[in-house]
Amino acid sequence: MTAKHLVWGACLLVPGLLVGCGGGDSNSGGEDSSSAAKPTSGGGGAAPYAALQTVAQERGLTPDDLVAAAKTFQPSGRHDDYLMFASDGHGGQMLVIGVPSMRILRVIGVFTPEPWQGWGYGAGQDVLDEGKINGKDITWGDTHHPALSETAGDYDGQFCFINDKANARLAVIDLRDFETKQIVKNPLSLSDHGGAMVTPNTDYIIEGGQYGHPLGWDYAPMEEYVSKYRGMVTLWKFDRDSGRIDQSKSFALELPPYWQDLFDAGKLVSDGWIFGNSFNTELAADGGESGTPPYEAGASQRDNDYMHVINLRKAEALYRAGKAEIIKGFPVLSIQTLVDEGVLYFVPEPKSPHGVDVSPDGAYMVVSGKLDPHVTVYSFDKIQKTIAAKNWEPDQFGVPVLDFDSCVEAQIEVGLGPLHTQFDNQGYAYTSLFLEPAVARWTMGGPLGAKNPEPDWTLVGKVPVQYNVGHICAAEGDTVSPDGKYLVSMNKWAIDRFTPVGPLVPQNFQLVDIADTGDTMKVIYDMPVGMGEPHYAQMIKADKLKPWKVYPEVGWSPETQSVRLDAAQKGKERVERNGTTVDVYMTAVRSHFTPEYVEAVEGDHIRWHITNIERAYDATHGFAVPAYNINLSLEPGEAQVIEFVADRSGTYPFYCSEFCSALHLEMMGYFLVKPAE
């Protein structure tokens, strides 16, 4: 064998391999399996349409029904264009719904413990504890108004906030993992219908109080209603970097006990101002006990209530200058200060309104008095001129009440029981009509009005909805650049829309197609909501959200959005005893826990550190301990530490409560608690 032979041998060998590999490469099986994995739709031709006709005839579907179905149906695997974040009312949670398919994609545990997510059953307890009132657990909430975080007046898809009207609390949800990160309890109020709304860059989250009571809710008899009872609006400072409300930079404004209702932040030209409304300027105070009419009538005697116009920039400057007094440990700017410094103004509004909505250009404030068939449109410019001209009369608290006529731009008769207004990209506004019930479309004025063919400030058309609509939600419909296309009518009553399920009937979310101009709106989907009574929702383009698929690193704490130093780690699983404290370091991976049995003695203080060390999308494990009220949902990478006292001896089989793998049932272990000596 000589060198020459080797050379020629190598020459033959290498090209031979090249050819062999080339052949293997082109003979790829990967592409075949990938195309097979995706369901393919049927081809064209007449046959499918004949089948469609047969189905339509058999099921009694009209061509309109078929079009509606085609507009909302999502084939398997196709994602929705929009996500709608909806409150679920006294369910105390938040719903995430895909639009146009109207499918619920997530329930987010907020104020109410929710076992699927382990929310309150081992996870999120610190957050839920922030919502205690004077040390008492409050295990539900009445969620009302979700608010997506905004940058320059447009949704940025980073955070969502929601209020609890029942207890005046506010929650922060991080949209990287769709989990609640913070609950703040308002120390001044027990009632906060007027939240949550954000200022255009989410500097502040607005939380307006509702039913008047002494700030801090100390006892005061009804006779002292005018002197002691108060309304308020709180401005919570949001720190985007930490993803938390900074309570140390937050403050409130004292308001007359007029039962403030809803607020909205100004934008663009009206940036730096906030607007609210109220519905009991009558100061009805004793609910019929001494021969006066009940509140429903007592609070509806005057023709007008007051829109609140608040100079937020000035209020912020006063707070920073130390002009706030401290009530219940919280800074409050008094009515007197607000009046003296020109922060607070009122404008008469048709009585008992339910909504003040700022137009996309920030130039107009739309108010609907629910007992008046008009929407009233105020001009921000005219309000400013009226303030400058001091064209006002003070109310009994000394607050300037601006002249109505010099602030109003237009009043449009839209129908019976107008409530809330949203906007689209074609210069239309939409107002819910509770009594008709219907959604009205009308035209804006100014530059926005030029986007549609109809004259400004006129009713264009209505679409009946089933039934008793409260809020409506148009795609990005309260931002500086609404998308149009879809509107959801959130109906309080469904009556005959669904198969009966007993006397408690689901709410009905109806999807309305608002893409065309003119009187063309159509209901294209009915979605029953059977877990609470939703109020408001906000709808964001889905591609603005960048949610995580798995937590960024193994050992991640969703509560701090960082790696836990005390997280259980792979390869370091163990049980450590220190006196009567037992630290369990446990990992979960398909399809076993490590360690698989843990021994303790009755009375031991247990700190159970558990980490899901998976990195695969959707490889969630549960962790359920019977008789100890523990259930966790551990998403890939998530680490939790549960603390409890092993106060009952016994043999407790723990297991994975989220079906994780073919050997899921085998994913279990034993927690053995020896009786104390």
Partner 1 sequence: MAAALQAIFGPRIPSEELATHRWRYLTPAFLLTLARVLLLVSIFVPYWAMELRAPQYPDGLHVQAYINRLTGDVTEIDGLNHYIGMRPLNDAAKLERTVSITMLIALVLLVEGAIYVHSKWTVLLTLPSILFPPVFLLDLYFWLNQFGQHLDPKAPLSNAIKPFTPPVLGTGTIGQFHTHASAGLGWWLAAAASVLTIAGLVFHRRAFKPLYDAASAARPGPVVPAEE
**Interface with partner 1 (CB under 8 A):** 2-4, 6-7, 10-11, 13-15, 17-18, 20-21, 24-25, 27-30, 33-34, 37-38, 589-591, 614-616, 662-663, 666
Tokens, residue 288: 């019929």
State which residue, 32 or 218, has the beta carbon closest to partner 1. 32
State which residue, 26 or 134, has the beta carbon closest to partner 1. 26
State which residue, 6 or 50, has the beta carbon closest to partner 1. 6
Contacts by 98-104, CB closer than 8 A, 24 or more apart: 98/74, 98/542, 99/475, 99/486, 99/488, 99/511, 99/539, 100/71, 100/72, 100/74, 100/486, 100/511, 100/524, 100/525, 101/72, 101/73, 101/74, 102/72, 102/509, 102/511, 102/525, 102/527, 103/74
d(CA 536, CA 94): 10
**Rg, the chain, Cα only:** 30
The 3-state DSSP class for residue 664 equals coil
Kind of pairing between the strands at 330-333 and 244-255? parallel
State which residue, 67 or 665, has the beta carbon closest to partner 1. 665
Output the smallest distance, CB 107 to partner 1, in A.
Answer: 24
State which residue, 313 or 572, has the beta carbon closest to partner 1. 572
Output the smallest distance, CB 487 to partner 1, in A.
Answer: 33
The residue assigned the tokens 């607020």 is 263
Q: Are 161 and 173 in contact (CB under 8 A)?
A: yes
Q: Which amino acid is at 150?
A: E
Output the smallest distance, CB 3 to partner 1, in A.
Answer: 4
Q: What is the largest CA-CA distance in the chain?
A: 121
State which residue, 13 or 297, has the beta carbon closest to partner 1. 13
Output the smallest distance, CB 564 to partner 1, in A.
Answer: 19
State which residue, 27 or 40, has the beta carbon closest to partner 1. 27
Output the smallest distance, CB 10 to partner 1, in A.
Answer: 4
Output the smallest distance, CB 669 to partner 1, in A.
Answer: 16
| Bond before 591 cis per omega within 30 degrees | yes
State which residue, 29 or 221, has the beta carbon closest to partner 1. 29
State which residue, 569 or 591, has the beta carbon closest to partner 1. 591
Beta strands in 54-93 (DSSP E): 82-87
Identify the sign of the CA torsion 444, 448, 451, 456.
positive
Q: How far apart, in Å, are the Cα atoms of 334 and each of 323, 327, 340, 400, 460?
A: 9, 10, 10, 15, 44
Output the smallest distance, CB 602 to partner 1, in A.
Answer: 35
Output the smallest distance, CB 558 to partner 1, in A.
Answer: 21
d(CA 437, CA 469): 6
Output the smallest distance, CB 101 to partner 1, in A.
Answer: 19
Output the smallest distance, CB 561 to partner 1, in A.
Answer: 22
State which residue, 475 or 619, has the beta carbon closest to partner 1. 619
Output the smallest distance, CB 28 to partner 1, in A.
Answer: 6
Query: What stretch of H or E contains 358?
Result: strand 353-358
d(CA 69, CA 18): 54
State which residue, 36 or 326, has the beta carbon closest to partner 1. 36
State which residue, 155 or 556, has the beta carbon closest to partner 1. 556
> CA geometry: angle at 511 spanning 526 and 461, to 5°?
120
d(CA 556, CA 560): 8
Output the smallest distance, CB 78 to partner 1, in A.
Answer: 13
The 3-state DSSP class for residue 665 equals coil
Best CA proximity match to 140, nearest among 114, 112, 119, 168:
112
In degrees and rounded to multiples of 5, residue 319 shows phi and psi of: -60, -45
Tokens, residue 585: 């370091």
